[in-house]
Structure formats: C-alpha cells, structure tokens
C-alpha cells in the first residue's frame, strides 16, 4: 500500500478522542483527513489536537477523504453514514448500525446499493486473543457456551450518553456478546429474552447446527466488576475468552484491515450486512422485552 488512506472522522465524543482519532492519525496505512461533528467546538478541539482541519459541513469532509469513520450515536450514524455511502465513501461503522432495525436495514441497503466498502467496529473481534479463541472454539465440535458483560455505565461517566441511558445494555453491550457467540457456535437462528435492559438481560440463543448458548448483559453494575467473558464447550474441550487478557492490538488491526479493504476491495467479513444480522437478533430480543 503506497499512499495512506485518507479517512475523515465523524464525531468528537469520548470514544472518538480516545480511540478513533489517535489510531487514524498514527498511520502508516491511514491518515486523519479532518473532523466533522454536530458540536463545532468539539470538532475544532479534536481536529486541533491532531493538526487537521475541522469542517462546518459534513460534505466538506467528504471532499477531502476516501473513507469515513463514525463515532456518533446510532440514530445519527444511520443518517450520516448513508450520506457518506451515497457520496462514494467507504464507511467504518460503530455498533449497533442504527437505533432500531428499520434504520439498520435502510443503512445496510444504501451501502449494498452503492457498493462502497463497509466494516463494523466490533473491536473485540480484531484482537489476537479473540481470534485465537475463535479458532480454538471451532475445533472443539462446540455444543454450547455462555457470555457475560457487566458494566457500571448507568451510574455515570463519559460513556453514560443519552442513548445508552435510554436503551441500556442490550443495544450497547449485546452486540459484542451475541457476535462472539455467533462466531464461535454458529449463526444465531433464534433468541429468547427476559429481564430489563436498564437492569439485567438474559438471552437464550439457538444456533444453526444445534448448539445453544446463554448471554447476560447489564450496565447497572457497581463496584469492582469482573471483566467480560465468553466460554464455549465442545466434545473435545473448552475455550475461554477473558477481556482482561486482551492486549492493545485490536484497534490498530481494525484500522489496518479497513485500509486494506478500501484499497484492495473484496469486502470484509465484518461488514454492514454482518452488522445488520447481529442487530436483527438484538431487535428480536428487544421486542420480547417490550422495547
């Protein structure tokens, strides 16, 4: 890859400041081309930290980049990423794709129609530890497993954003756990849900091939919480993925693969279509909970 991919960043919140902007600016396969956010002062501050332009109109950002990374709430992403795709820009998307399934379907439809490259920021999937776990899990002739992800987000902090406070753990943490169980045990074929997204949600997942799994997510935790964890059991052993064992390689790997997808084409397995499939599972669970 000769020239780095010029990537514009949409969003200037905590995750954009902590992860997206530094990784895109670090190179060598990408360069941060500029920032646009709905809050101009936040956009200007983040852009200034990395010595790149801040734009008043999102179309001005599109004019200087080949691809766009999104770090905005799901409802905003559904609209803005569709505009980027229609402008011919590859898109790096946060999970979930949209706030609801209709929005996710519309966005995935625009991306399919325009043919632009897409990739989901299911960050855990890009780590060496997670990929080793999945490789091991698939060798086990797996028949079941479980996952747990508990945070204290509802108690406050930089990620206690309005959409998370309203929709809770299922929409925010659920995609990570469902995606990992889906990847290790086979595609999710059905889901049964109970609980409260603002308390504790339990999911029973049925997978193609006959495996079953349980997933529990909550953002109402407090105190010294254990790291998230996924375990898979099979006829020849078991495999464990513990978040505490993850290194710092996931985000750089994700950015590198996104740059390669933009340059080389061929698509990526964690594309918008995959994101839509995971959101269909989440939406089915949410409907059962009356959300």
d(CA 258, CA 120): 9
Q: What pTM does this model have? A: 0.96
- Provide the pLDDT for residue 1: 47
pLDDT tens-digit profile of 240-290?
999 888 889 999 999 999 999 999 988 999 999 999 999 999 999 999 999
DSSP secondary structure letter of residue 211: -
CA nearest neighbour of 172 among 130, 204, 217, 203: 217
d(CA 265, CA 235): 38
DSSP secondary structure letter of residue 72: S
Q: Say whether pLDDT at 2 is over 80.
A: no
Q: Say whether pLDDT at 67 is over 60.
A: yes
Looking at every residue in the chain, the average pLDDT score rounds to 96
- Provide the pLDDT for residue 194: 98
- CA angle centred on 102, ends 100 and 104, rounded to 5°: 70
Question: Cα dihedral angle (206, 201, 122, 235), rounded to 10 degrees?
Answer: -40
**Architecture of the domain delimited by 5-123+249-270:** 3-Layer(aba) Sandwich (3.40)
Fold classification of 128-246 (topology level): Dihydrodipicolinate Reductase; domain 2 (3.30.360)
Local confidence band at 23 (pLDDT 50, 70, 90 cut-offs): very high
For 98, phi then psi, to 5°, come to -150, 175
pLDDT tens-digit profile of 34-51?
999 999 999 999 999 999
Residues 232-243: what's their mean pLDDT? 96
pLDDT tens-digit profile of 117-138?
999 999 999 999 999 999 999 9
CA atoms within 13 A on the CB side of 180: 36
Residues 140-154: what's their mean pLDDT? 97
Local confidence band at 291 (pLDDT 50, 70, 90 cut-offs): confident
**Which residue do the tokens 């609209």 mark?**
79
Residues 89-102: what's their mean pLDDT? 98
User: How many other β-carbons are positioned within 10 Å of the β-carbon of residue 88?
Assistant: 11
Where does the chain hold its CATH 3.40.50.720 domain(s)? 5-123+249-270
Residues above pLDDT 90, as percent of the chain? 95
CA atoms within 13 A on the CB side of 230: 29
Where does the chain hold its CATH 3.30.360.10 domain(s)? 128-246
């Amino acid at each position: 890859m000769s020239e780095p991919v010029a990537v514009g960043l949409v969003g200037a919140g905590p995750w954009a400041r902590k992860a997206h902007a530094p990784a895109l600016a670090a190179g060598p396969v990408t360069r941060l081309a500029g920032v646009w956010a709905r809050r101009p002062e936040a956009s200007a501050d983040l852009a200034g930290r990395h010595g790149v332009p801040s734009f008043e109109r999102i179309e001005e950002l599109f004019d200087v980049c080949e691809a766009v990374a999104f770090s905005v709430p799901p409802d905003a992403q559904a609209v803005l990423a569709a505009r980027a795709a229609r402008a011919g820009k590859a898109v790096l998307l946060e999970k979930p794709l949209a706030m609801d399934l209709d929005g996710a379907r519309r966005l995935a439809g625009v991306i399919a129609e325009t043919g632009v490259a897409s990739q989901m920021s299911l960050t855990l999937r890009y780590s060496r530890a997670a990929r080793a776990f999945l490789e091991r899990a698939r060798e086990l002739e797996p028949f079941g497993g479980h996952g747990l992800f508990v945070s204290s987000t509802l108690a406050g902090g930089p990620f206690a954003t309005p959409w998370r406070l309203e929709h809770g753990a299922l929409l925010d943490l659920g995609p990570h756990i469902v995606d990992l169980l889906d990847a290790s045990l086979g595609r999710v074929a059905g889901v049964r849900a109970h609980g409260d997204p603002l308390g504790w949600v339990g999911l029973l997942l049925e997978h193609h091939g006959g495996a079953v799994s349980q997933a529990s997510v909550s953002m109402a935790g407090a105190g010294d919480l254990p790291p998230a964890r996924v375990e898979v059991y099979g006829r020849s052993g078991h495999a464990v993925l513990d978040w505490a064992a993850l290194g710092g390689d996931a985000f750089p790997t994700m950015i590198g693969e996104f740059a390669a997808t933009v340059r080389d084409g061929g698509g990526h397995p964690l594309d918008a279509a995959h994101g839509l499939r995971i959101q269909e599972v989440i939406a089915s669970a949410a409907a059962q909970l009356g959300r």
